[in-house]
Amino acid sequence: MSQQSSYYPELAKEIEAPEGPLGVLLPGLGAVATTFIAGSLLLKKGLAKPYGSLTQMQRIRLGKRTNPKFPLIKDFVPLAKLKDFIFAGWDIYKDNCYETALKSGVLPQNQIAKISKELAGIHPLSAVFDKKYVRNLDGSNIKKFKTKMDAAQELIKDIENFKKKNNLKRAVMVWCGSTEVYMTPLKVHETLESFEQGLKKNSPEIAPSMIYAYASLMTKTPYANGAPNLCLDIPALTELSKKQKVPIAGKDFKTGQTLMKTIVAPGLKARMLGLDGWFSTNILGNRDGEVLDDPGSFKSKEVSKASVLDAILEPELYPELYKEIYHKIRIEYYPPRGDAKEGWDNIDIFGWCGLPMQIKINFLCRDSILAAPVVLDLVLFLDLAQRAGLSGIQEWLSFYFKSPMSRPDLKPEHDLFIQHLKLQNTLRILMGEEVLDHSGLDYYESKEAAIKATGK
C-alpha cells in the first residue's frame, strides 16, 4: 500500500526530445550573464568544469536502497545540450560580452582570452530602460518608444528576429538585469486586461522588467526572474503564463549569504535550538552593489532576503524558540572588492536551559561564480518544463531562489533541503519513477525485507 502511494503515474509526462538549437535570452548582460555565457563557452570547449550545476554534475537515486541506480540528472531527463545554446541579450551599455566580462573581473583574463572571439561576437540589443526604476545607472543603448506597449512590441520583434535568424524553435529568457526599485502589486497588476491597458497608457507601475516578461510570455518563451524586483510576481503575468502555456520561475537567485542562511536555519530548527537574532552584513563592489546603494533598489533586496528566516523557522508554530528574532540585513557598496563579496553573519542562538551560544560565518564568496550555474540550470529546467507541457509557476525550481514564487494560497518553501527533495522528486514524477521519501522503515518492517535479510 505505502509503495503505491509514492507513485504518481497520472503526472508522468511524455517529454518531447530537445531537438535543434536553444536560444538563451538574457536581459542585462552584466557580471552574472557574462560569467554564465563565458563559462558555458569554456564548458563547450572542454576547458572548464560545471561546478555548482545540478543539471551537469548531480546524480539522482532511483529505486530502493537495496537495488539503487544513480544516473546523472542529465542522462535521466531529456535536457538540451550546452553545445546547442545560442546567446543573445539586452543591455543599456554597448559593450560586447568580452568587454563586459573583462570589466566585471570575475573570471581571470587568461580564461576569458580562450573564448574572446565568441564573447566579442555577442553585442547587446538596445534595452527597454527607465532610470526611475534603477536610479544609479546611466546608459546610451536604450530604445525610444511612445508607450510601454510599443516597447513590448519592440522586444517581441527582437525575440522573433533572433529566433528566425538562428532557426530556433525554442528559447528561454532569464532576467539578469539590475535590481529595480521596490514595488508592491497594485490594481494595474491584477489582471492581464488591466496590465495591457496599463502598457498602452504608460502606467508608472509597470517596470521595464515586467515589459520583458510580457514580451517573453507573448512569444511563448519561458521566463525566470533572477533579481528581487516584482517583475513576474504579479497576477497579470501569472495569468498570461497559464494562457500561453509557458513555465515561469522566480525570484532572486539564491547564492551567497541567503544560501548559507537556508542551509543553517533548517539545521537549527531540526534540532529545536532557539534563535535570538541574526545579523548579516556584506560588502561588494560590483555594479550590482552600486545599484543596491540606492535605497529603492536595496529595499527590493532587503524584502527578498528577509522573508527567509520566518518562513523556515515558523515562529507561529514555535513561539518560544523563534518569536522574538532580531533579523538585520545590511549590504555595503565597497568598490575595491569588485565581485569578490565578503559576508559576515552573527547568529545568537540558545539551547538547553536557555543558555546562549553564538555562531559566526565569514563567507568570502564570488557572487557571479555562485550565480552562473543557477542560470544554466534554470535555462535547462525551464526548457524541459515547457517540453513536458508544464506551465505557470514552477515551484519545484524554488531551490534556486531567495524569494520563491508559489501559488498564492500556498506558503513558499525556503528550506534548501526540502526544495532539493522537491526538485528531485518532480523529476522522478515527470519520468514515471517512484518518489523517494527516505522514510526507510519498510527496509526493516516489511515482510519482503525480512525475507531478503534472513532468507526466511
Ligand X SMILES: NC(=O)c1ccc[n+]([C@@H]2O[C@H](COP(=O)([O-])OP(=O)(O)OC[C@H]3O[C@@H](n4cnc5c(N)ncnc54)[C@H](O)[C@@H]3O)[C@@H](O)[C@H]2O)c1
Q: How many residues bind ligand X (CB under 6 A)?
A: 36
The distance of Cα 183 from the centroid of its chain, to the nearest Å, equals 20
Q: Where are the alpha helices (DSSP H) in 166-254?
A: 192-200, 208-218, 235-243
In whole angstroms, the minimum distance from the beta carbon of 151 to ligand X comes to 10
The radius of gyration of the chain from alpha carbons, rounded to an integer in Å, stands at: 23
Of 52-60, 143-151, 176-184, 439-447, the window that binds ligand X (rule: CB under 6 A) is: 176-184
Cell of 4: 503505491
CA neighbor of 175 nearest in space, from 21, 290, 296, 33:
33
Binding region for ligand X (CB under 6 A) out of 30-38, 45-53, 149-157, 217-225? 30-38
From residue 119, how far is each of 96, 163, 166, 316, 336 by CA, in Å? 7, 19, 17, 50, 26
Q: At its nearest, how many Å lie between ligand X and the CB of residue 6?
A: 34
Measured from the CB of residue 171, what is the shortest distance to ligand X in angstroms?
Answer: 17
Which of the residues 130 through 159 are near ligand X (CB under 6 A)?
134, 137, 139
- Choose one: 11-19, 68-76, 122-130, 316-324; the region binding ligand X (CB under 6 A): 122-130
The correct pick among 22, 24, 31, 246 for binding ligand X (CB under 6 A) is: 31
Is 216 one of the binding residues for ligand X (CB under 6 A)?
Answer: no
Q: Do residues 242 and 391 make contact, with C-beta atoms less than 8 angstroms apart?
A: yes
Contact pick of 37, 176, 183, 264 for ligand X (by CB under 6 A): 176
CB of 425 to ligand X, least distance (A): 25
Binding to ligand X (CB under 6 A): which residues in 290-319? 291
Pick one of 32, 43, 119, 283: the residue that binds ligand X (CB under 6 A): 32
Among 37, 101, 152, 227, binds ligand X (CB under 6 A): 227
Q: CB-based contacts of 23: which residues, under 8 Å, 6+ apart?
A: 86, 88, 162, 163, 166, 168, 170, 171, 172, 221
In contact, 29 and 98? CB cutoff 8 Å: no
d(CA 244, CA 323): 42
| Contact status: 210 vs ligand X (CB under 6 A) | no
Can you read off the three cell numbers belonging to residue 122? 555577442
Residue 129, interface with ligand X (CB under 6 A)? yes
Chain residue at closest Cβ approach to ligand X: 30
